[in-house]
């Protein structure tokens, strides 16, 4: 893309052939950044790898993978990805896979929801030394506020659709994150681990030359 960011193909709803063609087209184009296929099922993965071998593959949710072609070489940057519950892991893994496509090796710190504060407090140093923090949560979004109170780094919050009770497919977490009383939290769409990673990459400097 002209902005130096990755080109991405969103798998759901596309046929294996469409996925393969889209990926091949992007690799043949004049861009130079990573090419990413997200939430691909087994057939889509197979077709895409047949058309364009050599991708990094990361399992995200049950039966779904994120693939990265033309991944960037390793670079500096601490972008921990926190989750409130274990159910938030697929979205966190999607974010981490996309960050990896940009050369960033990001730890996923799972299940540190605020119902047991000691869990997130145990990762205080990770938060304090982070360059960007990604917070993934599907119930109330409280973790984004708490995390933002423990770091001066930018916090990008991702609501997930994995809650229950009154979580309304992520809407409750989305609204709570937008209403965070910790100033400077910003938010991406529901389940949008890809978008959070892109925001983090923009923040770090999309092209390494920008740093």
Ligand X SMILES: Nc1ncnc2c1ncn2[C@@H]1O[C@H](COP(=O)(O)O)[C@@H](O)[C@H]1O
Q: Is 209 in the site for ligand X (CB under 6 A)?
A: no
- Beta-carbon contacts of 18 under 8 Å, excluding residues fewer than 6 positions away, are none
Q: Is 4 in the site for a second copy (CB under 8 A)?
A: yes
Site for Mg ion in 90-149 (CB under 5 A): 111
Q: Is 172 in the site for ligand X (CB under 6 A)?
A: no
Q: Report phi then psi at 36, rounded to 5.
A: -125, 135
What are the residues facing 37 on neighbouring strands?
9, 67
Q: How far is the CB of 152 from a second copy (least distance, A)?
A: 4
Query: Toward a second copy, which CB reaches closer, 52 or 156?
Result: 156
Q: How far is the CB of 156 from a second copy (least distance, A)?
A: 6
What is the C-alpha separation between 127 and 187, in angstroms, rounded?
18
Number of Cβ within a 10 Å radius of residue 122: 12
Residue from the set 81, 97, 109, 148 that interacts with a second copy by CB under 8 A: 148
H helices present in the chain, as ranges: 16-28, 42-51, 89-101, 117-121, 124-128, 142-148, 171-178, 193-204
Residue from the set 192, 196, 197, 206 that interacts with ligand X by CB under 6 A: 192
Catalog residues that contact ligand X under the rule CB under 6 A: 8-10, 38-39, 85-87, 94, 111, 164-165, 181, 183, 192, 194-195
């Amino acid at each position: 893309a002209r902005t130096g960011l990755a080109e991405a193909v969103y798998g759901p709803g596309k046929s294996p052939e469409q996925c393969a063609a889209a990926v091949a087209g992007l690799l043949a184009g004049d861009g130079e950044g990573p090419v990413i296929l997200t939430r691909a099922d087994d057939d889509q993965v197979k077709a895409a790898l047949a058309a364009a071998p050599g991708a990094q593959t990361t399992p995200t949710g049950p039966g779904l993978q994120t693939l990265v072609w033309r991944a960037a070489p390793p670079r500096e940057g601490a972008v921990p990805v926190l989750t409130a519950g274990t159910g938030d892991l697929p979205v966190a893994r999607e974010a981490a896979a996309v960050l990896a496509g940009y050369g960033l090796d990001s730890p996923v710190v799972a299940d540190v929801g605020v119902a047991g504060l000691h869990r997130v407090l145990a990762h205080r140093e990770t938060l304090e030394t982070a360059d960007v923090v990604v917070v993934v949560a599907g119930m109330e979004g409280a973790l984004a506020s708490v995390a933002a109170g423990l770091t001066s780094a930018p916090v990008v919050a991702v609501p997930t659709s994995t809650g229950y009770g009154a979580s309304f497919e992520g809407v409750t977490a989305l609204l709570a994150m937008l209403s965070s009383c910790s100033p400077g939290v910003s938010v991406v769409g529901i389940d949008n681990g890809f978008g959070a990673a892109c925001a983090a990459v923009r923040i770090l400097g999309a092209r390494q030359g920008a740093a």
